[in-house]
Amino acid sequence: MKRVSVEYFAVFREQAGLSGEQLETRAASVGELFGECALRHGFADPRERCKVAVNDELAPWETLLADGDQVLFFPPVAGG
């Protein structure tokens, strides 16, 4: 099991009812971790429209998850 911290933004924070949490997970990639969190919190946005940052850098969904990672889940952006 890996221990990671997760932060949620905008609609994800509202749907989860929290801005972040510490998790123990068997997920191999950040994409898998997103799937777990989306199921638990009822996130409706498909992964393809969302973004993830790992340890302060935007990262692909295939990025392997490591113990101690800080993962930020971003719902579809809407700047401008």
List interacting residues with other proteins (CB under 8 A): 9-11, 14, 44-46, 49, 51, 53, 56, 58, 72, 74-80
**Which C-beta is closer to other proteins: that of 56 or that of 67?**
56
Q: 68 or 76: whose CB is closer to other proteins?
A: 76
Q: How far is the CB of 16 from other proteins (least distance, A)?
A: 13
In whole angstroms, the minimum distance from the beta carbon of 26 to other proteins comes to 27
- Sheet containing 70-74: which strands, arranged edge to edge? 20-25, 2-8, 70-74, 51-54, 57-59
